Amino acid sequence: MSHSQATDKMMVELRDLNKWYGEFHVLKNINLEVKQGEKIVICGPSGSGKSTMIRCINHLEEHQKGDIIVNGIPLNEDIKNIEAIRKEVGMVFQHFNLFPHLTVLENCVLAPIWVKKMPRKQAEAEAMELLERVKIPDQALKYPGQLSGGQQQRVAIARSLCMNPDVMLFDEPTSALDPEMIKEVLDVMIELATEGMTMLCVTHEMGFAKTVADRVIFMDGGQIVEENEPHEFFNNPQHERTQLFLSQILQH
């Protein structure tokens, strides 16, 4: 059990969030409040809308109804607000999405230099520090294609951290990895969690959820079915759907 590092400051607020893909109602009245320092793990069957929900937070997906507020900034049509939110929200993808034509270091310094207008020297120094934290400083001059999946995902985490974000979103960060590499990525995420980062993680790594999560959220059919602290969530699930899901992913 983790002791919570949450403060009273509200970091992410979703109010009555609704989203449609054409006629298809993917997100139904989602309400979620995440305080600074809180770690949320979101799980659920595929197609339940969990990825879509966190992708709405940095406007990779557009929502049609409801409010999203990140660190006090409302997410609306105003491009300035979208850009401001994206500066504060880092994201790690299932397929890493590193830029294959740039070296690891260039991947990391790109956004600080172009978005934050940071001098290159400073950006590189900070990037090297972060690469050290994810334990791959020696790969800085290689191209992503020369690295293993686990290394690539750690670079992707470092790349996000280079923007010094207040919130990190993880969209199934270990699903595309070989089993041998999952641990090295989870270790980095756990370290990040203990340092007090606000995190929203879509993942099925239940061990990770038990170790770091303040709350676990279970989604199905575009809505939040159940929300609880991890101990209760795993040992005493309230809804039948949650019980079924947990029995299926935990029985192996």
Partner 1 sequence: MKYELQPTLPPPANMIGVIGWLRKNLFNGPVNSIATIVVGYFLISFLVPTIQWIFIDSDWVGDSRDACTSGGACWVFIANRLDQFLYGFYPEAEHWRVQIAFIILIGSIIWLVLPKTPKKGLVATLLLVVYPVVAFFLLYGNAFGLTRVETHLWGGLSLTLVLAVVGIVASLPLGILLALGRQSDMPIVKSVCVIFIEIWRGVPLITVLFMASVMLPLFFPEGMSFDKLLRALIGITLFQSAYMAEVIRGGLQAIPKGQYEAADALGLGYWQKMILIIMPQALKLMIPGIVNTFIALFKDTSLVLIIGLFDVLAIGQAANQDPEWIGYSTESYLFVALLFWMFCFSMSRYSQHLEKALNTGHGNRA
Pick the closest to residue 198 from 168, 161, 170 (CA basis): 168
1 touches 193 (CB < 8 A): no
Compute the least distance from the CB of residue 140 to partner 1, in Å: 15
The smaller minimum CB distance to partner 1, of residues 63 and 86, is found at 86
13 touches 49 (CB < 8 A): no
Distance CA 132, CA 137 (A): 5
The smaller minimum CB distance to partner 1, of residues 162 and 213, is found at 162
Measured in degrees and rounded to the nearest 5, phi and psi for residue 101 equal -90, 0
The smaller minimum CB distance to partner 1, of residues 55 and 215, is found at 55
Compute the least distance from the CB of residue 85 to partner 1, in Å: 9
Contact positions vs partner 1 (CB under 8 A): 58-60, 83, 86-87, 89-91, 93, 95-101, 110-111, 114-115, 143-146, 149, 159-160, 163, 176
Distance CA 168, CA 90 (A): 5
154 touches 188 (CB < 8 A): yes
The smaller minimum CB distance to partner 1, of residues 39 and 159, is found at 159
Pick the closest to residue 220 from 203, 237, 241 (CA basis): 241
Compute the least distance from the CB of residue 237 to partner 1, in Å: 32
The smaller minimum CB distance to partner 1, of residues 168 and 209, is found at 168
The smaller minimum CB distance to partner 1, of residues 131 and 216, is found at 131
Compute the least distance from the CB of residue 205 to partner 1, in Å: 20
Sheet holding 167-171, edge to edge: 89-92, 167-171, 198-202, 39-43, 215-220, 223-228
Compute the least distance from the CB of residue 230 to partner 1, in Å: 27
Compute the least distance from the CB of residue 240 to partner 1, in Å: 35
Amino acid at residue number 240: E
Q: Which residues pair with 171 in a beta bridge?
A: 202
- Angle formed at CA 19 by CA 247 and CA 34, multiple of 5 degrees: 65
